[in-house]
């Protein structure tokens, strides 16, 4: 099955830059912002977004991981051998925080 390219590397970089600008427009101090990346593909994007935010603001944004495997609606069709439950990792207190789910 041939896959179509949705975003080139340059498109993705531009999209993340725009997203970082939008986050900073709403939360300029990033004080209560936490990025949570959905395992597997969302987490690397959250890391990239955090890196861009750091370079734009000189402020580190906490990053966590969330595994949503058990909530997938296609588990039965994938078969058990394709579903791997990974450990979620939210190393920061997320109460009263703005969560950006990636």
Residue 3 vs residue 85, higher pLDDT = 3
Residue 93 vs residue 26, higher pLDDT = 26
Separation between Cα atoms, residue 49 and residue 20, nearest integer Å: 7
Separation between Cα atoms, residue 90 and residue 63, nearest integer Å: 8
Separation between Cα atoms, residue 7 and residue 66, nearest integer Å: 24
Question: pTM higher than 0.75, yes or no?
Answer: yes
pLDDT in tens, 7-65: 899 999 999 999 999 999 999 999 999 999 998 889 999 999 999 999 999 999 999 99
How high is the pLDDT of residue 6? 86
How high is the pLDDT of residue 82? 59
CB 20 within 8 A of CB 28: no
Q: CB count, 10 Å around CB of 31?
A: 10
CB 60 within 8 A of CB 69: no
């Amino acid at each position: 099955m041939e896959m179509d390219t949705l975003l080139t590397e340059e498109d993705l970089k531009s999209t993340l830059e725009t997203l970082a600008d939008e986050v900073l427009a709403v939360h300029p101090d990033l004080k209560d912002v936490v990025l949570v990346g959905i395992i597997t593909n969302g987490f690397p994007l959250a890391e990239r977004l955090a890196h861009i935010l750091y370079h734009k603001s000189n402020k580190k944004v906490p990053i966590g991981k969330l595994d949503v495997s058990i909530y997938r609606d296609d588990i039965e069709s994938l078969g058990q051998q394709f579903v791997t439950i990974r450990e979620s990792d939210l190393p920061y207190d997320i109460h009263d925080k703005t969560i950006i789910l990636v």
